[in-house]
């Protein structure tokens, strides 16, 4: 139950403040929410949290607060205190480490009038674990790459194979092993590794949006034509029915809430999943540009409006190419992050 007249769930309130956590370089996501507020003619603000005053997002948001790392025991309490002080209507978690925390705490935030656009803790834990993701999806008949723990590879596995961290992200420490000798080396080199079958085919990210009850609202597949540092650098939208169906199916099996993305390759005409992330993807600007405005729809849900499912209703063949945009300061912006609303302070990170 909402505890505050400010959040009555109807248009009479006409004010929405959005908090994007661990904002770092997520300037396009901040911009997308700011544009959505403006398009809806809803007064409000886009607030961020971070640990580093040099993070670009800190200088683009309406407000920025310093918080501890997501692994710190004080993290969730710090976010709650910001939500009370601002106050915040919608929280958008962005990094894998914090997703289980928010998934387990949605009722806690709901009690103070803050909606959290995050899947539940079980979904977050499964998706953070590549081995479990593969097991859960495959058990429901979804085509997956095949993910194995070292020493458990079936006899029909052919080389090359991929070795990657079981809970890694962004392509960090992911290596192609072309021979049994290379496999032995990388399994020893990578911390807590899994081994995946090699998938040969075009790569896609499928952006999915579900409402707060888990109903799937939108599915937008994007071909990842050029990938840099694990994020789509150049890509285009695709209205392939098989990819749309895969997005819906994964959303239902894993019970998404808010934004999520499914990563797959199309092998012999069939999409095969190799990773799932229950959060906004780095390539979300392309999805929004193609007409699937996830930020706008989330804001409308917070306002209590009905958002009808529009699966497949976007412009296919929209291309995106990314570039860096620098920010400049005449001195180190050590005070760019606001002190925490509570009396305690958190360490400053400036590197």
Any idea where the domains of the chain sit in the sequence? Answer: 5-118, 146-197, 200-320
pLDDT at 346: 60
5-118 and 200-320: identical CATH topology: no
Residue 350: the pLDDT is 46
The pLDDT assigned to 39 comes to: 96
pLDDT of amino acid 347: 55
- Residue 2 is predicted with a pLDDT of 44
Q: What is the pLDDT along the chain (351 residues), one digit of tens a residue?
A: 344 445 444 554 569 999 999 999 999 999 999 999 999 999 999 999 999 999 999 999 999 999 999 999 999 999 999 999 999 999 999 999 999 999 999 999 999 999 999 999 999 999 999 999 999 999 999 999 999 999 899 988 899 999 999 997 766 788 999 999 999 999 999 999 999 999 999 999 999 999 999 999 999 999 998 877 667 789 999 999 999 999 999 999 999 999 999 999 999 999 999 999 999 999 999 999 999 999 999 999 999 999 999 999 999 999 999 888 899 999 999 889 998 776 556 655 544
Short-list 123, 62, 128, CA closest to 95 = 128
Selected from 3.90.25, 3.30.1490, 1.10.10, 1.25.40, the CATH number assigned to the domain covering 146-197 reads: 3.30.1490
Domain 5-118 falls in which CATH fold?
Rossmann fold (3.40.50)
Q: Spell out the residues 6+ positions from residue 175 whose beta carbon is closer than 8 angstroms to its own.
A: 162, 163, 164, 182, 186, 189, 190
Please tell me the pTM assigned to this model: 0.92
Looking at residue 157, what is its pLDDT?
A: 86
CATH of domain 200-320: 3.30.470.20
């Amino acid at each position: 139950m909402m505890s505050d007249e400010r959040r009555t769930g109807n248009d009479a309130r006409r004010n929405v403040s959005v908090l994007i956590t661990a904002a770092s370089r997520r300037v396009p996501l901040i911009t997308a929410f700011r544009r959505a507020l403006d398009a809806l003619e809803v007064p409000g603000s886009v607030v961020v949290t971070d640990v580093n005053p040099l993070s670009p997002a800190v200088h683009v948001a309406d407000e920025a607060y310093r918080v501890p790392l997501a692994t710190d025991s004080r993290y969730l309490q710090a976010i709650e205190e910001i939500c009370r002080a601002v106050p915040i209507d919608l929280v958008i978690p962005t990094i894998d480490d914090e997703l289980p925390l928010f998934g387990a705490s949605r009722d806690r935030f709901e009690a103070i009038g803050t909606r959290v656009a995050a899947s539940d803790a079980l979904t977050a834990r499964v998706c953070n674990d590549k081995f479990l993701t593969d097991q859960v999806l495959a058990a429901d008949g979804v085509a997956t790459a095949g993910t194995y723990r070292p020493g458990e590879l079936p006899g029909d596995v052919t080389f090359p194979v991929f070795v990657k961290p079981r809970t890694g992200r962004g392509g960090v420490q992911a290596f192609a092993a072309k021979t049994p000798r290379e496999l032995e080396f990388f399994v020893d080199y990578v911390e807590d590794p899994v081994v995946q079958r090699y998938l040969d085919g075009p790569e896609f990210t499928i952006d999915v949006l579900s409402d707060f009850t888990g109903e799937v609202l939108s599915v937008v597949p994007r071909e990842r034509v050029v990938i840099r540092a694990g994020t789509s650098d150049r890509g285009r939208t695709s209205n392939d029915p098989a990819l749309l169906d895969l997005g819906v199916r994964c959303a239902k099996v894993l019970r998404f809430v808010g934004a999520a993305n499914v990563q797959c390759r199309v092998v012999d005409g069939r999409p095969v999943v190799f990773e799932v992330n229950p959060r906004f993807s780095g390539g979300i600007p392309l999805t929004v540009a193609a007409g699937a405005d996830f930020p706008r729809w989330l804001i409308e849900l917070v306002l209590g409006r009905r958002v009808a499912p529009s699966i497949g209703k976007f412009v296919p063949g929209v291309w995106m190419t990314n570039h860096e945009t620098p920010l400049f300061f005449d001195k180190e912006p050590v005070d760019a992050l606001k002190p925490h609303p509570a009396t305690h302070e958190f360490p400053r990170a400036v590197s």
